[in-house]
Amino acid sequence: MIINKKWVLKKRPEGLVKNTDFELISENLREIEDGEILIKNEYLSFDPTQRMWLTDLPGYLPPVQIDEVVRAGGIGRVLESKNPTYKEGDLIFGMVGWQTHLITEAKEEDRFRLIPELLPIPTMLNVLGTTGITAYYGLIELAKPKAGEVVLVSGAAGATGSVAAQLAKEAGCYVIGIAGGEQKCNWLKGCGLDTVIDYKNSNVHEELFKAAPNGIDIYFDNVGGPLLETVLFLINMNARVMLCGGISGYNATEPQPGPRNILNLVVQRATMQGFLVLDYLPKSQQAVEKLAGLVLEGKIKHLEDIQEGLENCPQTLNRLFTGENYGKQMLKL
């Protein structure tokens, strides 16, 4: 008999999450049935979007319901299989949740997919996971950077931002990154970014005007908020603003003001586009191979912030919003 430990949602958090918003419970798992597999989770992924799923606002995925296990991506290994697609020992990417085990049919439409062990597991969860794939599709396939263009990435030390910034360098662009704190900024300089702005120790709006005297062609936005307005003053003709996330507002209890200069999109014939990695996961094999290659060649540097222990899930999620995390946030089970 296998015991699963899991965090379920007990009430909608306000601001940073608290342990008391959840309950950690143990349950005996039943036997698996035909078509199902039993997964033992190895690493859980922590991403800003998970905070959104805990609200009851409509989003691109339904809210996590009260008493449901907290939704999260991660990597697990097949312990037992009655499904011909998977065998014992296989590694699986998927929405595994804040728990030690799960029984699932692991369908692709439910966002489970088998992965070859191309790289160490934490590296795969980082660069080859949803965050890396998000960066690849948002930057390469949608924004289509051309050599010489100026690319700005906010949340540049984050899991998605750091891959987007390095893909932009690889494409021959001039890359400006924004991150919080000296440690993250120094790491980004080591990744080859041309200019790095530390928003915690400078006036990011003023620094941005200095850093982009020739304007901005692509803005890969992970943070939203007042920065978007500043960037809209700086966009060049035919600029592309890729809306990837808005971490600045995820813990907010009321709507944040929007940019007052949206008409600059008209003046500059620019495009602001929202996208979600979910649309690209089913065809992500090409991106995964490309990203794995760049990691092996040393062209994409990466950093993992690995916490441990299922009991630390709530605090690990908060690290993304307090800026404590240094590298892709994950938790080892």
Residues that bind a second copy (CB under 8 A): 58-60, 224, 228-229, 243-246, 249, 255-276, 279
User: Minimal distance in Å, beta carbon 225 to a second copy?
Assistant: 10
Q: What is the DSSP letter of 211?
A: H
User: Minimal distance in Å, beta carbon 2 to a second copy?
Assistant: 37
Alpha-carbon gap, residue 178 to 182, rounded angstroms: 11
Alpha carbon 48 to its chain centroid, in Å, reads 7
Q: What is the chain's length? A: 333
* Contacts made by residues 263-267, CB under 8 angstroms, sequence distance 24+: 264/232, 264/233, 264/235, 265/232, 265/235, 265/241
User: Minimal distance in Å, beta carbon 88 to a second copy?
Assistant: 37
Between 181 and 215, name the residue whose CB sits nearer to a second copy: 215
Between 91 and 270, name the residue whose CB sits nearer to a second copy: 270
Alpha-carbon gap, residue 188 to 183, rounded angstroms: 9
Between 3 and 252, name the residue whose CB sits nearer to a second copy: 252
User: Minimal distance in Å, beta carbon 291 to a second copy?
Assistant: 22
User: Minimal distance in Å, beta carbon 180 to a second copy?
Assistant: 20
Alpha-carbon gap, residue 92 to 108, rounded angstroms: 11
Between 185 and 277, name the residue whose CB sits nearer to a second copy: 277
Alpha-carbon gap, residue 176 to 220, rounded angstroms: 10
Between 189 and 269, name the residue whose CB sits nearer to a second copy: 269
